[in-house]
Amino acid sequence: MPKQRITKEMVIDAAFELARSGGMEQVMVKAIAEKIGCSVQPIYSYCKNMDGLRQDVTERAKCFVRDYVASHIDKDDPFRSTGHAYIQLAKEEPNLYKIFILHRRDGVSSLDDLYHMEASGQIPAFLAKSLNISVEQAKQIHLDMLIYTIGIGTIFSMTTPGISADEIFAQQERVYEIFMKKV
């Protein structure tokens, strides 16, 4: 039987699956080699260091989160459904949610910097139109909800045996109503 050619993509795929199922702390060379079914040598040949590999896993997690949220948005209620999508993600994929939320964000020295890094530049105009408010109000309410959702999603993903999703969604809905009254 011919030897399997190990590719960098296979290494990243295996590392991502390990992180997805057990958290970033499971991303170790020996575990990756075991998952792929090879020696540790091919892993070392693609990864100069574990930080680089963990960064690749983080990038993959960020793409996963973006795709997940985009696929769960209700076009008739994008603002509310986006927040719900993040909470649903925290429930279904707690390890990826933690990687996404807890990854280092270089170059952020203000909430405005964070907002520009995390949110699409088109969102404020879209929300302003759909909610019939100013673009500046839309940006502020979106930032408020982003901060709140990250916080409650983190609590949700870090509790055991766990807060019920219904309780989290109800709390999120109460805050949504409060934010909407501001505008």
pLDDT in tens, 8-58: 999 999 999 999 999 999 999 999 999 999 999 889 888 878 899 999 999
Q: Report which secondary-structure segment, H or E, holds 58.
A: helix 50-71
Q: What is the pTM of this model?
A: 0.84
pLDDT at site 58:
96
Q: How is residue 112 written in tokens?
A: 């405005």
Q: How is residue 168 written in tokens?
A: 């989290």
Cα–Cα distance, 65 to 16 (Å, whole number):
13
pLDDT at site 1:
44
Contacts for 111 with CB less than 8 Å, ≥ 6 apart = 143, 147
pLDDT at site 3:
60
pLDDT at site 46:
83
In the chain, domain spans: 1-71, 73-183
CA-only gyration radius of the chain, Å: 19
Cβ burial 144-174 (10 Å sphere, 16+ → b, else e):
bbbebbbebbbebbeeeeebeeeebbebbee
Cα–Cα distance, 21 to 61 (Å, whole number):
12
One digit per residue, the tens of pLDDT, for the chain of length 183 reads 456 688 999 999 999 999 999 999 999 999 999 999 999 988 988 887 889 999 999 999 999 999 999 999 888 888 888 889 999 999 999 999 999 998 888 999 999 999 988 887 888 888 888 889 999 999 999 899 889 998 998 898 888 888 998 999 999 999 988 988 877
pLDDT at site 56:
94
Find the largest Cα–Cα distance for the chain. Answer: 67
CATH of 1-71, one of 1.10.10, 1.10.3470, 2.60.40, 1.10.287: 1.10.10
Cα–Cα distance, 135 to 183 (Å, whole number):
11
